[in-house]
């Protein structure tokens, strides 16, 4: 197998996550995660304030969220400790590109671009 070729397991996992994005999935609690909520980027909100500090302290101008899922909160409002935030793009005030090989809308990456920060 050529050095730069992904493994069969990797390719199988990519297809599995694509399916979960489209169809949703069962949680271990027995509940079902709706496709709209599946990998929508909610987990990033846990780290939003920490990442904002990194951006501000290091004068980050541009960044890439590698594995962003649907990236819903980059363009939609949410609450952070009772404070309504317009979007992650607005809150972080940086140029943000999104990439996730398992979600078609975000599955293209500019490999020649350089970033100040990856998350």
Position 24 in a domain:
no
**Per-residue model confidence as pLDDT tens digits over 7-37:** 999 999 999 999 999 999 999 999 999 999 9
Q: Following DSSP, what letter does each residue of 83-100 receive, concatenated? A: EEES-HHHHHTSEEEEE-
CA-to-CA distance for 22 and 26, rounded, in angstroms?
13
Position 27 in a domain:
no
Helix (H, G, I), strand (E, B) or coil at 101: coil
Position 32 in a domain:
no
**Per-residue model confidence as pLDDT tens digits over 40-91:** 999 999 999 999 999 999 999 999 999 999 999 999 999 998 999 999 999 9
CA-based nearest residue to 51, from 82, 8, 80: 80
- Tally Cβ neighbours within 10 Å of residue 67: 20
Position 65 in a domain:
yes
Residue 4's pLDDT band (cuts 50, 70, 90): confident
pLDDT higher than 80, residue 3: no
Position 74 in a domain:
yes
**Per-residue model confidence as pLDDT tens digits over 85-113:** 999 999 999 999 999 999 999 999 988 99
CA-to-CA distance for 102 and 108, rounded, in angstroms?
10
Position with higher pLDDT, 5 vs 87? 87
- Kindly give the pairing relationship between strand 83-85 and strand 78-80: antiparallel
Helix (H, G, I), strand (E, B) or coil at 30: coil
Q: Which domain holds residue 88?
A: 39-118
pLDDT higher than 90, residue 2: no
CA-based nearest residue to 96, from 53, 66, 69: 66
- Global pTM reads 0.89
Position 57 in a domain:
yes
Residue 1's pLDDT band (cuts 50, 70, 90): low
The total of structural domains in the chain comes to 1
Position 15 in a domain:
no
Position 34 in a domain:
no
């Amino acid at each position: 197998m050529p050095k730069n070729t992904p493994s069969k397991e990797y390719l199988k996992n990519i297809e599995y996550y694509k399916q979960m994005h489209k169809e949703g999935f069962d949680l271990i609690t027995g509940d079902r995660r709706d496709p709209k909520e599946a990998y929508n980027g909610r987990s990033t909100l846990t780290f939003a304030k920490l990442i904002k500090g990194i951006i501000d302290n290091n004068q980050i101008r541009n960044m890439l969220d590698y594995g962003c899922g649907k990236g819903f909160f980059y363009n939609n409002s949410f609450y952070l400790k009772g404070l309504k935030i317009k979007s992650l793009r607005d809150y972080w005030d940086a140029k943000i590109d999104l990439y996730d090989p398992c979600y078609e809308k975000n599955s293209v990456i500019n490999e020649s671009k350089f970033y100040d920060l990856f998350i």
